[in-house]
Amino acid sequence: MTSGTFTTASSSMNFNSPRFIGAVEDEWQLYSDRESDYIIGSPIGFGASSIVYAATYQPPRPKPSANLPPPIPCALKVLDLDALPPRSLSLLQRETTLMSLSKHPNVLRVRGSWMNGHKLYIALRLMNKGSAADVMRYGWPGGMEEDVVRCILRQALQGLNYLHINGFIHRDIKAANLLIDDDGTVLLGDLGVAADLSEDTSQRNTKTTRASATTALSQPDPSDIPSNGGHSGAPKRIVLFDHTLPLVEKPRMGKRKSFVGTPCWMAPELIQGRQYDSSADIWSFGITALELTQGRPPRSRETPQRVLLRTIQDEPPTLNREGGTYKYSRAFKEMVDSCLVKDPTMR
């Protein structure tokens, strides 16, 4: 396969565009797009066409006479573009663009990128604890206590709400895509299947997170706790937006119909091929809440086909407040139930 040509699109962007709704100034600095500024260490993760390495970024001297600032630990995702089929190249473009432009403390952001031959290098913040699924696998195999789950979900919800109010849906919310740092910061990752609702023709506004979910995740009431082909022809050109630029507000919101996601977390309307919007993420959020409390998502031991069928036919799963390793409050159960309503307009 012919490798892609990656360029930035800063020259075509309007520097006076309105900021993305809810965007914030970064607490963590951007790195650089120069390979010489990085030292690559050992691999820490593997994908079908990518490897993630632990690395360090060396910031420049603030002035020639100054000492070098201390190096910054980071992660480098290295993708072999020759190994990617066209579909994956499209997802990569979407993910990198969204990760480059998102400015929220709970959304993983690209902090540098460059090409070397047919390989794309993407510099990211190093999330030392891995994902919530990793943390649970090694520390809480039977599920986490409510306070920990609330802390994770509250931050995930803030990042998710940031995407929703700007016209994006994530479409693959699950514990494996909630990344955790040493200080407990949670970031939404794996934005490859995220969709821009403004691409669609429907005029219906995308919904934001229900207030009941936010309220229930604020503070617990102590008294109430009882987881591709090639192409030929001209070289593929993929534009990467300049990651120093702000996102712009999305003026039109619509719905999607494409079938994407992971079976255990997929909303009924998505499985049935009906139009869906950000409500599908709220369903996945509810399933993720159950995953964090039980150590695995509901129906995870069944075949994908059976999972999809039962999601449509059966009543939504619910939280057993007292039947697991830990006990959970009534308010927390009500929050989960409010997410797992089959009618998307009621979530």
DSSP per-residue codes, 102-123 = ---TTB--EEEEEEETTEEEEE
Q: How far is CA 130 from CA 133, 137, 154, 160, in A?
A: 8, 11, 18, 19
Does the pLDDT at position 28 exceed 80?
no
Structure confidence at residue 159 as a pLDDT band (50, 70, 90): very high
Closest CA to 57 of 42, 67, 70: 70
Q: Please, are residues 102 and 109 in contact by the beta-carbon 8 Å criterion?
A: yes
Residues 6+ away with beta carbon under 8 Å from 3: 81, 82, 117, 118, 235, 236
pLDDT reported for residue 324: 84
- Known binding-site residues equal 77
Euclidean distance between CA atoms 299 and 32, whole angstroms: 44
Structure confidence at residue 323 as a pLDDT band (50, 70, 90): confident
- Known binding-site residues for ATP equal 77
Report the b/e string of 38-72 with b at 16+ CB within 10 A: beeeeebeeeebbebbbbbbbeeeeeeeeeeeeeb
Residues 6+ away with beta carbon under 8 Å from 230: 1, 85
Closest CA to 156 of 59, 284, 58: 284
Q: Please, are residues 279 and 290 in contact by the beta-carbon 8 Å criterion?
A: no
Euclidean distance between CA atoms 76 and 70, whole angstroms: 18
Residues 6+ away with beta carbon under 8 Å from 25: 103
pLDDT reported for residue 24: 61
Mean pLDDT value across residues 120-130: 89
Tokens 């617990």 label which residue?
A: 220
pLDDT reported for residue 141: 93
Query: Which has more confidence, 233 or 21?
Result: 21
What is the β-pairing status of strands 5-8 and 72-80?
A: unpaired
Locate the DSSP E strands across 64-204.
Answer: 72-80, 110-116, 119-125, 168-169, 178-180, 186-188, 195-196
Structure confidence at residue 220 as a pLDDT band (50, 70, 90): very low
Alpha carbon dihedral 246, 252, 258, 260, in 10-degree steps, equals: 40
26 is catalytic: no
Does the pLDDT at position 16 exceed 70?
no
pLDDT digits (tens, 9 = 90+) for 206-216: 333 333 333 33
Angle of CA points 46, 52, 58, to nearest 5°: 165
Q: What percent of the chain has pLDDT over 90?
A: 44
| Catalytic choice (26, 37, 134, 172) | 172
pLDDT reported for residue 238: 30
Q: Which of 42-51, 143-152, 160-169 has the highest mean pLDDT?
A: 143-152
Does the pLDDT at position 108 exceed 60?
yes
Q: What is the CA radius of gyration of the chain?
A: 21
Euclidean distance between CA atoms 171 and 197, whole angstroms: 12
Phi, psi of 81 (to 5 degrees): -65, -25
Domains within the chain, CATH numbers bracketed: 5-346 (1.10.510.10)
Q: How many CA within 13 A on the CB side of residue 3?
A: 12
**What pTM value is reported for the model?**
0.71
Structure confidence at residue 149 as a pLDDT band (50, 70, 90): very high
